[in-house]
Amino acid sequence: MRAIVMHRVGGPDVLELEDVPAPRPKAGVVLVELQASGVNFADTEWRRARYRPTPLPWILGSEGAGVVVATGADVDPGWRGRRVTFYALPPATSGTYADLATCPAAALMPLPDGLDFVTAAAIPAQGLIAYLMIHRAARIRADQVVLVHAAAGGVGLLAVQLARRVGARVLGTVSSEEKAQAVREAGGEPLLYGGDLAERVRGLTGGRGVDVVLDSVGLPTQAASLSMLAPFGELVHFGDAGGFPAPVDPEDLYARSLKMSAFGLDERHDPPAAARARRDLVAWAADGSLRFRIGRTLSLTEAAEAHRLIESRTTIGKLVLTR
């Protein structure tokens, strides 16, 4: 089968197209013939070994959509032939930048016939992050004001929609008018980045500030995020694309009773919530009430270009590799 293989860490040029043996599903695992694979910013971090040492050789990719073609022991053979999407971090998956990938049967999300594979590939990682962050971590309520950083990204646009679905007012930071329009279409109020961001947020909220900030940027936005919080507000870090957040002295939080927290996607922490999220996300994608914006589709052979695009910070929505 074809696969995008890393033999060293580094820039996008380390992603090489190769013919490799197809993986075989072990107990509790299925083999999926992929039609589309999601590209996430986290993939670029693995490529650079920013999280931890990356074992080599390595096939990137944690999410994909396609058809189950084989099942391992202890897996219902009825999965064979079913259309699915899934999210699983390697080594739980063999890597989705490939024609075929293994996946734990427990991670499968069955697809209705009317949902296309490209949209389906955009659901698992970013959808689960946005859903569980809104409903489980931050527990957003209808009476709150929420600010989402990088609001025109894949997670950002979903977080805007899901917070609006709860009934919250949502502000979203952007870097261009094109991205601002995407946030408006998702139901949010866009704000351009700038040194006076916190002041503008307070102006839009009657001087009070926001109840929750969802921040995937990290260090560059941290000070403004804390400054714009209302009393009893919470800053939720769920990424650090711009650099790791700085340590914060609790003395700086006391005056307004602020909270700082972090969210990382690990479905094992609350399996019932994750199962509910998977069901809702697929259903809402199928009925169109939750829009998964596809910024661009590229072929599997263009994986390196997909990484260059996502690292340029110019993309809107989701990048997907197709077969």
With a cut of 90, say whether residue 55 has pLDDT above it. Answer: no
Looking at the structure of the chain, the number of domains it has is: 2
Q: Is residue 235 domain-resident?
A: yes
The whole domain housing 76 covers: 2-123+292-322
pLDDT digits 0-9 by tens, 127-164:
999 999 999 999 999 999 999 999 999 999 999 999 99
254, 212: one domain: yes
What is the model's pLDDT at position 152? 97
Tell me whether residue 104 is in a domain: yes
Tell me what pLDDT residue 267 has: 86
Identify whether residues 174 and 242 lie together within a single domain. yes
Instruction: Please tell me whether residues 119 and 169 are part of one structural domain.
Output: no
The pLDDT confidence band at residue 186, using thresholds 50, 70 and 90, is very high
Contacts 24+ apart (CB under 8 A), 170-179: 170/145, 170/146, 171/145, 171/146, 171/147, 171/201, 171/204, 171/210, 172/147, 172/148, 173/147, 173/148, 173/149, 173/197, 173/221, 175/313, 178/316, 179/151, 179/152, 179/316
For 283-293, the pLDDT digits (tens) are 999 999 999 99
Categorize the per-residue pLDDT at 19 as very low, low, confident or very high, splitting at 50, 70 and 90: very high
Is 303 in the same domain as 225?
no
Q: pLDDT at position 54, please?
A: 80
pTM for the whole thing?
A: 0.94
Mean per-residue pLDDT over the chain, rounded: 97
Query: Of 245, 262, 279, which residue constitutes the final position of a domain?
Result: 262
Same structural domain, 139 and 246: yes
Q: What integer pLDDT is reported at residue 168 of this predicted model?
A: 99
Domain assignment present for 158: yes
Which pLDDT band, with edges at 50, 70 and 90, does 310 fall under? very high
- Indicate whether 112 and 130 sit together in one domain: no
Give yes or no: residues 136 and 18 share one domain.
no
Give the per-residue pLDDT at 7.
Answer: 97
Per-residue pLDDT, 301: 98
Are 111 and 86 members of one domain?
yes
Q: Is residue 277 one of the residues assigned to a domain? A: no
* CATH number of the domain where residue 179 is located: 3.40.50.720
Q: Sign of the CA dihedral 72, 64, 136, 217? A: positive
The predicted pLDDT at position 146 comes to: 99
